[in-house]
Amino acid sequence: MLEIVQLPVLSDNYVYVLYDVEFGSAAVVDPAEAGPVFEILDRRGWRLDYILNTHHHGDHVGGNLELKQATGCQVLGAAADAARIPGIDRGLADGDEVVLGGNRAKVIEVAGHTRGHIAYWFAEQDALFCGDTLFSLGCGRLFEGSPQQMWASLEAIRRLPPSPRIYCAHEYTQANGRFARSVEPANPDLPQRLAEVDQLRAEGKPTVPSTLEQELATNPFLRPESAEIRKHLGMPDVENGQVFARLRAMKDGFR
């Protein structure tokens, strides 16, 4: 059994602490800061074995060195970006496996937001930790990669079974929802999804995780085949990657 503790940190980040109940092994995904992680480890009496970084940005690796120094844990991250991940011990590439007690995660390379971004796919637990590649109702900005790279990464996620919970790293869902509604207002699944999001935020609750099934139905960045989106963009007969590129550029300037 894999227990997942979601920690809100900074202004809108999420850090995830993973605990294998049978083996007593713990990992933390993208520790933006160390303090909240230490607090949950101390409160639960857990031993930290791994830091699993999805990419090098400071709001994902800020707690690496402090946690490593205090616990002796190993830092895992993208081999392609090892020089920018503080304290890295093991570089990971597409198809590699990470073992946490009795749980196994497959590494999926998902470049685009950064050139060395990876995701961790715990298939048996239906959990995908995807950092800033896929958000609830959105996707990450292209700081280092191309639209073609990012679309290939999103396609890799689209090929997964529809059941996974999507543990992304930021609470951006309401803003993403406004953009989704602007490009696909007749999507029959959007009104209920946006109402649920607004209710959760009104109650001070996270909108994350979502599920891949929800994202496939409502996230415009996973829906370039949509006739309504294509009509809105005036792009009826182009490849999906070109539709994605236009959507991503539009989102960059959306307010």
Please state the φ and ψ torsions of residue 103, each to the nearest 5 degrees: -110, 145
| Domains of the chain, each with CATH number or no CATH | 2-252 (3.60.15.10)
- Catalytic site residue from 20, 30, 49, 59: 59
pLDDT digits (tens, 9 = 90+) for 34-65: 999 999 999 999 999 999 999 999 999 999 99
Name the active-site residue from 20, 30, 55, 232: 55
Cα 194 to Cα 162: distance, rounded to the nearest angstrom: 20
Q: Are strands 97-100 and 88-92 parallel, antiparallel or unpaired?
A: unpaired
Q: Which is catalytic among the residues 49, 81, 132, 232?
A: 132
Q: Are strands 127-131 and 134-135 parallel, antiparallel or unpaired?
A: unpaired
Q: What's the pTM value of the predicted model, to 2 decimals?
A: 0.97
The verdict on whether 57 is a catalytic residue reads yes
Q: Is 113 a catalytic residue?
A: yes
Decide if pLDDT at 150 tops 90.
yes
Is there a catalytic annotation at residue 132? yes
- Is it the case that residue 1 has pLDDT exceeding 90? no
Query: Per residue in 57-115, pLDDT tens?
Result: 999 999 999 999 999 999 999 999 999 999 999 999 999 999 999 999 999 999 999 99
Q: Round the average pLDDT of the chain to a whole number and report it.
A: 97
Q: What is the pLDDT of residue 9?
A: 97
Task: Let me know how many helices (H) and strands (E) the chain has, helices first.
Answer: 9, 14
